Amino acid sequence: MSTNKRKGPALSQMSKQENRKAELEKQKQKTRFLIIGTIALVVIIFVGLGMLAAQDKPSAATNEPVEFNYSEMPRLGSEDAPVKLVEFGDFKCPACADFAGVIKPQIVQEYIDQNKAALYFANMAFVGTDSKTASLAALSVYHQNSDAFWTYYDALYANQGDENESWATPEFLISLAQQEKLDIDYELLRKDIEDQTYLDELNRDMALAEDSGVTSTPSLFVNGVKLAEPFNIQAIDAQITAATEAVSAE
């Protein structure tokens, strides 16, 4: 009998411990559900914000044509050409140098010289700190002599240094202009670089790149439509042909 009396309290104690364990497990489950629910809510919020951001830039998301102010950009070719190409580039970008050396000559020969298209340029200076210096120098050349801009454009890419080194110094940029015998005022070029005369213009180009959905260089637009493959000359030809037909049908 005395043995049974001792078992009663022990069993009761075990039952209480099991109840506590069950309650703790319930609390853990509630906590897990709360954490999972919170994470899911955060994900939903970020997805919603991403969708709203995409709606703010319909041209990048839906491939609707971007409306450029072509009169503000350096132009190669006739102003009256039916198709307008816009290249976003960085003078320190190795891929842009490849575009300038391989794709641009084909565009010039097949479309610009035939008055089928004109090429425009916009700066997206992001590779290095001296990307901005190179862009400011190019803008100074453009404002002094718009034809000389494209000679300077070719020279900058042909003499491009290592993207990890700060080679686009004022001294180099002025020396290069002199080497190419550009018909400009070299002292004014130096002053424009040092005073950052065209910084507002450069910032305008950078903002335009962002608003147009440009995330890499080179990026190429044909009558406002961004091409997925700027190095695919067949794709460029197809888009130019489509743009020409669209203009003719208007």
Q: Confidence band (pLDDT; 50, 70, 90) for 36?
A: low
Predicted confidence (pLDDT) per residue in 136-164, tens digit: 999 999 999 999 999 999 999 999 999 99
pLDDT of the residue at 50: 47
Greater confidence (229 vs 38) lies with 229
What pTM does this model have?
Answer: 0.75
Evaluate the omega torsion of the peptide bond into residue 218 and state whether it is cis, within 30 degrees of 0: yes
Domain ranges of the chain: 1-56, 70-249
* Residue in the structure block whose two tokens are 């018909």: 183
Greater confidence (143 vs 59) lies with 143
pLDDT of the residue at 8: 54
Predicted confidence (pLDDT) per residue in 99-135, tens digit: 999 999 999 999 999 999 999 999 999 999 999 999 9
Token digits of residue 247: 């203009």
CATH architecture of 70-249: 3-Layer(aba) Sandwich (3.40)
Predicted confidence (pLDDT) per residue in 162-175, tens digit: 999 999 999 999 99
Q: Confidence band (pLDDT; 50, 70, 90) for 13?
A: low
pLDDT of the residue at 157: 98
Predicted confidence (pLDDT) per residue in 189-225, tens digit: 999 999 999 999 999 999 999 999 999 999 999 999 9
Q: Above 50 in pLDDT, residue 66? A: yes
